[in-house]
Chain A
Amino acid sequence: MMIDVVVIVAMLIPFAFKSKLAYVYWIVLSSLYIAYKAWRWKV
């Protein structure tokens, strides 16, 4: 749960920087989160 909350909050970080690189940041962060879920999530 902790990781989930951290990732969701981290999705808002681009509000602090006026940049087009937010696009790359969001894709990398979402990819890492999905990889983490695939690895750690036990149904």
Chain B
Amino acid sequence: MILWAVAIYMVVGTLIALYAKRGIKTQEDYFLANRRLGGIVSALTYASTTYSAFMMVGLVGLAYATGVGSAGFELMYLVGTVFLLSYYAPKFWSMGKEKGYVSPVEVFEDRYGKFVSTLSSIFALIALIPYTSIQIMGSAYLLGIDYTLAVLIVAFVIAFWAFLGGMKSVAITDAVQGVFMLLMAIVAVIWTAKNVAFGIPDSAVFPNEFWTPLRFASLTLPWFFFALTNPQVSQRMFVPKDDKALKRMVILFAIFGLIYTALVTILGLSLRLGTDLGRFPLVSYRDRVTPTLLSMMPEYLAIAVALSIIMASVTTANSIVLTLSSMLLRDVLKDRERIVLGKVFVVVLTVVLIFFALQRPGYIVELAVLSSTILLCQLPLILGVFHFKFGGRVTGLSTLTAGFVTAVVLSLLRVPWTSIAVFFVSFAVFFGVGLIERSKTT
């Protein structure tokens, strides 16, 4: 039955993509929907790209296992994003329009040089490919069929709509799927309230043994700056058609994020209350909480909720594939004209994702967790574009390299404060090398 649901989903999405593919002539059309998206579609594609399967699987489990601190962690991300977007989105948007930026790291090119935008794109590839593979793996498991076939089906859905219609296709399909994701989260909470429990258990206090100040800071820091450092969302600052659409994108995304976070976390907390009351089995591996809930629901409801989780994965993954394709094309190959190569990269990146997903190695999970921490090394360079006059090519290259090496080495050593170290090392190198570079050039 779930395969029928997926088949209908694929047909509807493909019809939307076929509609969206008309009139694509330039890379701006393909990668940015010609900077002509309205506020509502922009908001929904921003939300669908941001909120992956992590919400309905990872965050439900985190709330179940660790209590209300999970809501604080996720809402800290939301407040940070609204804060950063309200200050930087208008700057990115007008800069993109004025200078014709398509890939988000083109912002670096004029200031720090071509090598920096190329290196930044390569680090983004390293950070985001394992993360995106996880999205495919999670969806493939949910389909409950032969794993290889499931990976191929999910990868096809991810690539095909982006291949056909680029950003316009991804944005419209994201918008439809975003609404479905929200509706299914509401349905899951209502069903749980009626059949299991509703509320916050007494054990779910904050702070607790899990939510120490160090862990909260370490987990929150990469997410707080996610809107600036993750290219698949920062590229979305270029797409609204005017300043009103830009404001509507930020505010409607914030409202979506608030409701979705509240629903997902109360779902996890209610299931824990259900366990305490003996109405929901004790689940010790937290990523199994949502699958356990699905196994208790009527089949039609479980399929609808599972489909919403697959949609959350697809909307995140196809946006990443499209953004990485634009970065490969414009920042690595320096091709600013041809669309066909962008489409080729969508296919090539998807094949790489399939390869990773089929391997199912353990380290892929660790690399995926590391993705936002790696991307944190770009933060000083982004802030440098807007706030600091010093720093050029050497500063850019050394900041990215120092931050990247710190992220990889400390995470291999399993240091719990890796993101905090990446943050401070990146800024220290940016200021140190930047000031030396300025004194040498003056």
Chain A residues with a Cβ under 8 A of chain B: 1, 4, 7-8, 11, 14-15, 18-20, 22-23, 26-27, 29-31, 33-34, 37-38, 41, 43
**A26 contacts across to B, CB distance below 8 A:** 68, 71-72, 75
CB-based A-B contact count at 8 angstroms: 85
Of the A-B pairs whose beta carbons lie under 8 Å apart in the complex, a sample of 30, sorted by A's number, is A7-B83, A11-B72, A14-B72, A14-B207, A15-B207, A18-B208, A20-B68, A20-B200, A20-B202, A22-B69, A23-B68, A23-B71, A23-B72, A23-B204, A23-B269, A26-B72, A26-B75, A27-B75, A30-B75, A30-B78, A31-B258, A33-B79, A34-B254, A37-B86, A37-B251, A41-B247, A41-B250, A41-B251, A43-B246, A43-B247
**Of the residues A8, A22, A29, A37, contact of B68 by C-beta under 8 Å:** A22
- A11/B67 in contact, CB under 8 A: no
Q: Nearest Cβ distance between residue A20 and chain B, in whole angstroms?
A: 5
A26 vs B205: C-alpha distance when bound (angstroms): 13
11 more A-B residue pairs beyond the given contacts A11-B75, A43-B246, with a C-beta to C-beta distance below 8 A = A8-B79, A8-B83, A14-B72, A20-B67, A22-B69, A23-B269, A30-B75, A34-B258, A37-B82, A37-B254, A41-B250
Contact (A19, B205) CB under 8 Å given A27-B75, A33-B82, A34-B82: yes
Residue of A nearest to B213 (CB): A15
Q: Interface 1/0s, chain B 230-247, versus A by CB < 8 A? A: 000000000000011011
Give A19 to B200 CA distance when docked, in angstroms. Answer: 11
With an 8 A cutoff between CB atoms, is B90 at the interface?
yes
Contacts of A33 in B (CB 8 A): 79, 82
Contact of A34 among B90, B205, B244, B251 (CB under 8 A): B251
Tell me which residues across on chain A come within 8 A of B341, comparing CB atoms. none
- Separation of A41 and B244 alpha carbons in the complex (Å): 11
Q: Indicate if B255 sits at the interface (CB-CB under 8 A).
A: yes
Chain A residues contacting B247 (CB-CB under 8 Å) are: 41, 43
When A20-B200, A34-B254, A37-B251 are in contact, do A11 and B79 touch as well, CB less than 8 Å? yes
A43 vs chain B, min Cβ distance (A): 4
Q: In chain A, what residue has the closest Cβ to B83?
A: A4
Bound-complex Cα distance A38 to B430 (A) = 34
CA distance A22 to B115 in the complex (A): 46
Evaluate contact between A8 and B82: CB separation under 8 angstroms: no
Residues of A within 8 A of B79 (CB): 7-8, 11, 29-30, 33
Residues of A within 8 A of B244 (CB): 43
Which among A7, A18, A37, A43 is the interface contact of B207 at CB below 8 angstroms? A18
B60-78 residues at the A interface, CB under 8 angstroms: 67-69, 71-72, 75-76, 78
The answer to whether A30 touches B205 (Cβ under 8 A) is no
Complex: A1 Cα to B86 Cα, angstroms? 10
Q: Is B205 touching A20 in the complex (CB atoms < 8 A)?
A: yes
Chain A residues near B87: list those with CB within 8 A: 1
Task: Give the contacts of B255-278 with A (CB-CB under 8 A).
Answer: 255, 258, 262, 265-266, 269
Contacts of A37 in B (CB 8 A): 82, 86, 250-251, 254
- In the bound complex, what is the Cα–Cα distance between A26 and B243 (angstroms)? 29
Residues from chain A with Cβ under 8 Å of B388 in the complex: none
**A residues within 8 A CB of B204?**
20, 23
Chain B residue numbers with a CB within 8 Å of A30 are 75, 78-79, 258
B19 on the interface (CB 8 Å rule)? no
Q: Report how far A18 CA is from B76 CA in the complex, Å.
A: 18
Task: Tell me, in angstroms, the Cα distance from A4 to B76 when the chains sit together.
Answer: 12
Contacts of B202 in A (CB 8 A): 20
Q: Is B9 an interface residue (CB 8 A)?
A: no
Cα(A31)–Cα(B216), bound, Å: 21
Chain A residues near B68 (CB, 8 Å)? 20, 22-23, 26
Alpha-carbon distance between A38 and B69 when the two chains are bound, in angstroms: 26
The distance from the CB of B89 to the nearest CB of chain A, in whole angstroms, is: 8
Inter-chain CA distance A1–B323, complex, in Å, is: 31
Is B210 positioned at the interface, with any CB of A under 8 Å from its CB? Answer: no
